[in-house]
Structure 1
Amino acid sequence: MEKYLYLIIDIASLAFPLLASFYSKAPFYKTWKYLIPAILVTALFFIAWDEIFTHIRVWGFNQRYLSGIYVGVLPIEEILFFICIPYACVFTYFALNHLIEKDYLFPHQELISSALILVLLVMGMYYFEKLYTGLTFVFLGLFLAFQMLKLKPRYMGRFYVAYAFILIPFFLVNGILTGSFIESEVVWYNDQENLGIRMGTIPFEDVFYGMLLILMNVVIYEYLQDRERYRALMRS
């Protein structure tokens, strides 16, 4: 049974958000036509990144907890991770937008983003020889700069609030994947390629890797909705 642990984590992460997507007062399923492209585009980027890092052993996977099906060097469970987790997280973002009417961080969203961009880019360049740290911080810093300067989104305050909530299940799921509550880790990390700072068993960089993963999904999801609203306005 333990060889299906990673697969069970993927399915369990998806199960409740998928069922709750059909709640009549907040029908998330009606936004699937925006969500599916967002997940697929983002997944392609992260799977390519994951394939390279696995190949050069920045991280790897414990066969003890895997079904044994691979795509390239990646277990199928890792591929599914980039579908199941973003679905659950964008659902959380969507649900919180319905539950919390006021955008409390809207007045501060540019300040928060600017501070993150500065810190991430400086740290990313300083630690660039550590591949996981350097690339994660630089990629997230550049993506935040792109969406703030080019897209000028009005939803970043809501994203930051949602991500704070997302960190709760994140620590549970990532904790299990990195060895909490089980005998050995599902995913191992080469500490020569990161800062060596752990939150329990979770590498510090995972918080920012996760933020980039979810933010890319949210940005594409929101962009596609905005584009359709603009086109509808032009037709009217």
Structure 2
Amino acid sequence: MDKQYTYLLINFLTLFFPVVLSFDKRVQFYKKWKFIFPGLIITGGLFLLWDYLFTLYDVWTFNAKYLIGIYFLNLPLEEILFFITVPFACIFIYECLNYYVKKDILGRIGNVISLLMIALSIVMLVLYFNRVYTLITFGLLLFVVLFFYIKRPAYTGRFYLAYFISLIPFYIVNGLLTSLPVVMYNDAQNSAMRVGTIPFEDHFYSLSMLLVNILFFEYFRRRSAGAPI
């Protein structure tokens, strides 16, 4: 296979199993797709705007030999698809855990985790306020998690469990993207801390993106069911 299809293949494989397994008779994830896509569009648009700005400020660049060469607003098609395939796959993980793990394992410490994320965000903003990627990542995380903490939805613990489980495919996908590398980071615009080849900020950029998608997913699902929002 030509290297130019690498990033496209990563997107395809990220989406393939959640789509196929969506028709499992127990979880029936396909019935919940309609609650996912409004949030994907809203969140994807927001993150793609930042993604575009990041390319302008040289926060990261893309390795052309792993891309098919189709661009929109300076962003490769594969990067745009990334903001659809990854949240979709992670919401699938969230829903499978909701079905198969009846006990809310992190229920009692969900709000504590939120407080830790808020504290971490403040520390990182103080230390790296002059690094674009760190500033945007932890500024967004602070805002989103603070909102989450104030609202304290019943699914707080379940969200964090899904996030921690999603770190397994996260390390596979982001590990490939950063080790080949498909995406090349400018360490002058981040904290320069890495887990393997993955920038430290990526973990929390992903957390914010997934949290916003889950908030929208639960909002549209509850509104459809006529439940309190």
Q: Same fold (TM over 0.5)?
A: yes
Match of 2:182 in 1: 186
Q: Tell me how far 1:147 sits from its aligned partner.
A: 2.2
Quick one: which of 198, 209, 217 aligns to 1:202? Answer: 198
Quick one: which of 191, 214, 225 aligns to 1:218? Answer: 214
Match of 1:104 in 2: 105
| Alignment check: 8 A CA contact 1:62 1:188 kept | yes
Q: Tell me how far 1:114 sits from its aligned partner.
A: 1.4
Query: What amino acid does structure 1 have at the position aligned with 2:118?
Result: I
Q: Are 1:49 and 2:45 matched, yes or no?
A: no
| Alignment check: 8 A CA contact 1:60 1:187 kept | yes
Question: Matches of 1:137 and 1:145 in 2, distance apart?
Answer: 12
Q: Write out aligned runs for 1:149-168 (5 A).
A: 149=150, 151-168=151-168
Query: What amino acid does structure 2 have at the position aligned with 1:172?
Result: I
Over the matched positions of the two proteins, sequence identity in percent amounts to 44
Q: Tell me how far 1:219 sits from its aligned partner.
A: 0.8
Query: What amino acid does structure 2 have at the position aligned with 1:209?
Result: Y
Q: Write out aligned runs for 1:32-181 (5 A).
A: 32-149=33-150, 151-179=151-179
Q: Which moved more, 1:62-71 or 1:119-128?
A: 119-128
Q: How many residues align?
A: 227
Question: Matches of 1:119 and 1:144 in 2, distance apart?
Answer: 11
| Alignment check: 8 A CA contact 1:17 1:91 kept | yes
Residue segments in structure 2 that go unaligned for 5+ positions in a row: none
Query: What amino acid does structure 1 have at the position aligned with 2:183?
Result: V
| Alignment check: 8 A CA contact 1:51 1:74 kept | yes
Give the structure-1-normalised TM-score.
0.93
Name segments (4+ residues, structure 1) moved above 4 Å.
none
| Alignment check: 8 A CA contact 2:111 2:152 kept | no
Deviations 1:169-196 (A, max 9, x none): 10011011001xx4xx100011001111
Q: Tell me how far 1:200 sits from its aligned partner.
A: 1.1
Residue segments in structure 1 that go unaligned for 5+ positions in a row: none
3-state SS of paired residue (1:178): helix
Match of 2:27 in 1: 26
3-state SS of paired residue (1:118): helix
Q: Tell me how far 1:119 sits from its aligned partner.
A: 1.9
3-state SS of paired residue (2:154): coil
Question: Matches of 2:217 and 2:126 in 1, distance apart?
Answer: 30
Deviations 1:45-66 (A, max 9, x none): 0000000001121111000100
| Alignment check: 8 A CA contact 1:60 1:189 kept | yes
Q: Tell me how far 1:122 sits from its aligned partner.
A: 3.0
Query: What amino acid does structure 2 have at the position aligned with 1:48?
Result: L
Question: Matches of 2:121 and 2:162 in 1, distance apart?
Answer: 20
Question: Matches of 1:86 and 1:111 in 2, distance apart?
Answer: 24
Q: Tell me how far 1:116 sits from its aligned partner.
A: 1.2
Query: What amino acid does structure 1 have at the position aligned with 2:213?
Result: N
Quick one: which of 218, 222, 228 aligns to 2:224? Answer: 228
Q: Which moved more, 1:218-227 or 1:57-66?
A: 218-227
3-state SS of paired residue (1:129): coil
